[in-house]
Amino acid sequence: MKKVVKFGGSSLASAEQFEKVGKIIRADKARCYVVPSAPGKRNSKDTKVTDMLYNTYALAESDDAFDKELDAIKARYQEIIDGLKLKLSLDKEFEVIRENFKKKAGSDYAASRGEFLNGIIMANYLGYEFIDAAEVIFFDEDGNFMPDHTNEVLSARLADTPKAVVPGFYGAKLDGSVKTFSRGGSDITGSIVAKAAHVDVYENWTDVSGFLIADPRIIDNPKGIDTITYRELRELSYMGATVLHEDAIFPVRKEGIPINIRNTNAPKDNGTWIVESTCQKPKYVITGIAGKKGFCSINIEKDLMNSEIGFGRKVLQAFEENEISFEHVPSGIDTMTVFVHQSEFMEKEQRVLAAIHKLAHPDSIDLESDLALIAVVGRGMRQMRGTAGRIFSALAHANVNVKMIDQGSSELNIIIGVKNEDFDAAIRAIYNIFVEIQL
């Protein structure tokens, strides 16, 4: 049995957190590959080292003095080294970083040093080998991740290295320059290492005990999700459930390697298992609820629209020409509605409307703003009759007016559009009916 263990920034923010992590790793021999993030916040007022690095580099880039800021970053690491009583000095590394900042090595290089330095400390603390991610994770010249080349090089390297630390978040282009993933990208590194090392489980350790059925800012103490499929997770993450980076599932998904989200501060909790598919019946009909505010709908009417071939394409072309992606397109006999992100749409509004008029010649167009979309997701919905009925009667009881309904052909989710102001009430009503009352 082999496992990759990835630890997030809050799990590695201080020497005490490092000690918890050390205990977790030593408790299971299978935990042979470790992917650390940069030190995160020690408390709510603290700053993540990654943000400190971006800010410090911005000073270097505009030729301002940055010594004080870089020294503050060094102090964060020194505190960890001293707290763990390690015989390790990062003086040389910091001299190289200082020089490279002066040479304007780029903000990706700057940000990547957070994980790089934490990786050196982690390897020293555990007695594992340190593998610089820049030597094994590759991007092409346009900055796109190169999965095949990476897998080839990384697999070969790990085959010779039974225990290693590979820092998260970055790799390098073929010319050697450092490139990072998007923020939170250490999750992706964990997945890449899991695939290359052919491990049995990818454990992703963070500061919560996995995914919750609903947002705890809306529902008090929501229940956790024990098992979720990759597809369900995609739906929920897209709608704002953020525990894991969206792209982290792709490398392991094809390999059938499950991801287990765990809590460094509560290591006995089972957390959430993310799997390809499962026979396990979910506890509730729904697996999770997530949503986002800030959409608007463009409602287009035209008599006999239904029989006009190409009408939908012409309408959507107006959005494409203005580089706006649409979320949902429910339609009726003589009406078609397009849901878009309000912030993206607003500045281009009149141009889009003019384009729809020009291309599709509708009878009228009417806009509605401040809408929210809610996704009710669950693999269990397919086998159950009446799920939609229950959702809508719960919403009616909560006095929530439903503006839009969209059920994907996968029957994995039902999307509901409501006014922004009804968002919390709608989520509460749906949670209640499926989880609290279990009607």
Q: Which of 248, 186, 211 is nearest to 9 (CA)?
A: 186
**Smaller CB distance to ligand ASP: residue 37 or 342?**
37
Regarding 183 and contact with ligand ASP (CB under 6 A), the answer is yes
Regarding 186 and contact with ligand ASP (CB under 6 A), the answer is yes
Q: Which of 26, 111, 18 is nearest to 61 (CA)?
A: 111
Q: Minimum CB separation from ligand ASP for residue 259, in Å?
A: 15
Q: Report the 10 Å Cβ neighbour count for 98.
A: 16
The pattern of x and - marking residues 39 through 58 that bind ligand ASP according to CB under 6 A reads ---------x-x--------
Scanning 183-191, 211-219, 291-299, 328-336 for contacts with ligand ASP by CB under 6 A, the matching segment is 183-191
Q: Report the 10 Å Cβ neighbour count for 433.
A: 20
Q: Minimum CB separation from ligand ASP for residue 74, in Å?
A: 17
CA distance 292 to 90: 43
- Residue 290: phi and psi, rounded to 5, are -145, 160
Chain residue whose CB lies nearest ligand ASP: 186
Regarding 171 and contact with ligand ASP (CB under 6 A), the answer is no
Count of chain residues binding ligand ASP (CB under 6 A):
12
Q: Residue 373 burial (CB < 10 Å; 0-12/13-18/19+)? A: buried
CA distance 309 to 231: 33
Q: Minimum CB separation from ligand ASP for residue 66, in Å?
A: 19
Regarding 169 and contact with ligand ASP (CB under 6 A), the answer is yes
Regarding 114 and contact with ligand ASP (CB under 6 A), the answer is yes
Q: Minimum CB separation from ligand ASP for residue 46, in Å?
A: 13
Scanning 180-188, 192-200, 203-211, 273-281 for contacts with ligand ASP by CB under 6 A, the matching segment is 180-188
Q: Minimum CB separation from ligand ASP for residue 232, in Å?
A: 23
- Which amino acid, 190? G
Six token digits for residue 163:
């225990």
Six token digits for residue 332:
């009726």
Q: Report the 10 Å Cβ neighbour count for 270.
A: 14
Q: Minimum CB separation from ligand ASP for residue 271, in Å?
A: 18
Strand ranges for 358-402 from DSSP E: 364-377
Q: Which residues bind ligand ASP (CB under 6 A)?
A: 9, 37-38, 48, 50, 114, 168-169, 183-186
